[in-house]
Amino acid sequence: APVHSAVYVWVTWTWAKMPGSQYERNGKLSKDVSLEDKANVLDDQDGHLLYREGDVLQGRYKIVRTLGEGTFGKVVQCEDLTSNGKKVALKIIKNIEKYREAAKLEINVLETIMEKDPNGDSLCVRMYDWFDYHGHICISFDVLGLSVFDFLKDNNYSPYLMPQVRHISWQLCKSVKFLHENLLTHTDLKPENILFVNSESEVVQLARKARKDFRRVKNASVRLIDFGSATFDHEHHSTIVSTRHYRSPEVILELGWSQPCDVWSIGCIMFELYTGFTLFQTHDNREHLAMMERILGGIPYRMAKKSKCGYFWHGRLEWDHHSTAGQYVRENCKPLFRYMRGDNEDHRHLFDLISQMLEYDPQYRITMPDVMKHPYFDKLTPEERGDDPAKKRGSP
Ligand code: NR9
């Protein structure tokens, strides 16, 4: 079986953008290790490459600082000494066989993306280069800004404003539509994997008496990252995919999955951009299903019947509404449309679209081409839509 399936991890990774975090500790860890001698490349106990600022990899990439860290490895900012010190983000995979094998599959996906989208219209992150550095697979990309998740967190979870929800969602849909057209499913769509190209922001005061100011990103252009779990139609499909909160019902019920599972994740993400909080805040399958039923109504009998996971009795979810968990779900979840903050057309269109993306049955769930035709997106500006003015001029 492909190693691809074996390496899925649930640990969410965090950007080490703050001095004093992991980034500082790394500095201390590698203090006494001379990396000048390239024959003496060392790893820490977890398989991470030990490095210091100023180290040069492949005689080309000079390490400037750590950008983030995850289960698979780290991301560092480098100067490309062969391109006038151009800034790149270098993903350094741990020196562990299963991660190395998974990284090779990821490179295969990234090469497919480059081949099918030579101009970068798909808004998927672009690979510059890759190499094997003493067992650490390294992949270089353009340097991007904060993730949509980190920006939200740093902004005290103030939701994005409607025009930005629309613009970010549109770009995400464009990337995912492209993947689906090329027989791929991303399988790990989440706000952490959507990065602003430039996360510079400005302070906004909605009302003079507003209790709190919040920040608005100046330009909501984003890129989709992390193709480490992306799966081609012909490849082995791991039973469990996606990060918990964004996981579709067919995955939880182990009914088999394909492209529609990405559409479900996007529905959850659009809700989160609009509200600032996670739609399904849970760590337990049964509770997750109970939340779905509270928010979206009953799970279809045919899906309940087909599932071998034992969450149902005669097609009904076994769930004690009077338990502590039952009370938690009742108090913290409500029918989807009650989360609307306004009753104008924008809000109605958004929730209509989200509700079609959160259709239980993957067979009936809206598909990416139809998502992009939804009237919610009618209000995009031509720039946001990514219409190429050059192309437009050429057409009749
Ligand atoms: C690209 C990526 C991460 C540009 C960046 C960046 N610019 C600034 C971070 C900061 C691309 C990534 C990707 N997959 C990732 S990061 O395609 N996965 C998370 C991991 S895996 C090993 C360490 C981090």
Predicted confidence at residue 274, as pLDDT, reads 98
Asked whether the predicted pLDDT for residue 101 surpasses 90, the reply is yes
DSSP string, 310-362: S-EETTEE---TTSHHHHHHHHH---GGGG-S--SHHHHHHHHHHHHHT-SST
Mutating to test ligand 1, I would choose from 226, 227, 229, 243 the residue with most ligand atoms within 8 A of its C-beta, which is 226
Mutating to test ligand 1, I would choose from 49, 75, 87 the residue with most ligand atoms within 8 A of its C-beta, which is 75
Active site residue 188: yes
Alpha carbon of 145 to ligand 1 centroid (Å):
11
Residue nearest to atom 14 of ligand 1 (CA): 226
Percent of the chain with pLDDT over 90: 83
pLDDT in tens, 323-377: 999 999 999 999 999 999 999 999 999 999 999 999 999 999 999 999 999 999 9
Give the separation between CA 311 and CA 290, rounded to whole angstroms: 10
- Measured from CB, residues less than 6 Å from any atom of ligand 1 are 13, 67-68, 70, 72-75, 89, 91, 125, 141, 143-144, 195, 225-226
pLDDT in tens, 20-60: 333 333 333 333 334 444 557 899 999 999 999 999 999 99
Q: Taking the model in full, what pTM does it have?
A: 0.89
Predicted confidence at residue 26, as pLDDT, reads 35
**Do 9 and 66 form a contact (C-beta atoms < 8 A)?**
no
Tell the residue number behind the tokens 């990252």, with chain if given: 225
Tell the residue number behind the tokens 């509700």, with chain if given: 355
Query: Which value, to the nearest 10 degrees, does the dihedral of the CA atoms of residues 109, 110, 113, 117 take?
Result: -170
Predicted confidence at residue 391, as pLDDT, reads 54
pLDDT in tens, 103-151: 999 999 999 999 999 999 999 999 999 999 999 999 999 999 999 999 9
Give the separation between CA 108 and CA 113, rounded to whole angstroms: 9
